């Protein structure tokens, strides 16, 4: 499997997680952390479900991956997330020393890779992350659009 197909395959797993968030009326964002071709952490937004502003998909997936590895550093791991990480999640990615972040669609309101900030590659920080945007962009965007349209209809 080539690199593009691999990224698409893992992003589809993140999309499965996003649908779980949608099913309990959270913004449909999903994430998986991958190490050596294996998913070691999964997460989906649970902000509304848990009434916790920090329960973002990325935070949950990173926490699960660190627990799986028994290690706070995830230096060789890749985070796949359906939406560009916010400042909190980008910060957590830097603190976890992730190797790479792959995301689907930009978040023009809160994105912290290229939309508002670039925390993932800020030279003032002690770690920088390789970033691949736009993987499965259409599917990620469609899930969000459908979710917000359904809210507006209500």
Task: Give the tens place of pLDDT for each residue, 64-76.
Answer: 999 999 999 999 9
84 is a catalytic site residue: no
* pLDDT at residue 1 tops 80: no
For position 2, what pLDDT does the model report?
67
Task: Give the tens place of pLDDT for each residue, 88-144.
Answer: 999 999 999 999 999 999 999 999 998 888 999 999 999 999 999 999 999 999 999
For residues 43-61, b (16+ Cβ closer than 10 Å) or e, as one string?
A: bbbbbeeeeeeebbbbbbb
Over residues 56-63, the mean pLDDT reads: 98
Q: Out of 13, 48, 58, 138, pick the active-site residue.
A: 58
């Amino acid at each position: 499997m080539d690199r593009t197909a691999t990224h698409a395959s893992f992003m589809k797993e993140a999309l499965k997680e996003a649908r779980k968030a949608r099913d309990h009326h959270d913004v449909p964002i999903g994430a998986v952390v991958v190490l050596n071709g294996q998913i070691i952490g999964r997460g989906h937004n649970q902000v509304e479900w848990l009434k916790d502003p920090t329960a973002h998909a990325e935070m949950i997936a990173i926490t699960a991956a660190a627990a799986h590895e028994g290690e706070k550093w995830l230096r060789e791991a890749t985070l796949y997330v359906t939406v560009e990480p916010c400042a909190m999640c980008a910060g957590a990615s830097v603190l976890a020393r992730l190797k790479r972040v792959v995301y689907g669609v930009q978040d023009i309101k809160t994105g912290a890779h290229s939309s508002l900030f670039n925390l993932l590659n800020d030279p003032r920080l002690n770690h920088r992350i390789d970033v691949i945007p736009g993987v499965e962009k259409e599917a990620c965007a469609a899930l969000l659009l459908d979710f917000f349209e359904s809210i507006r209809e209500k």
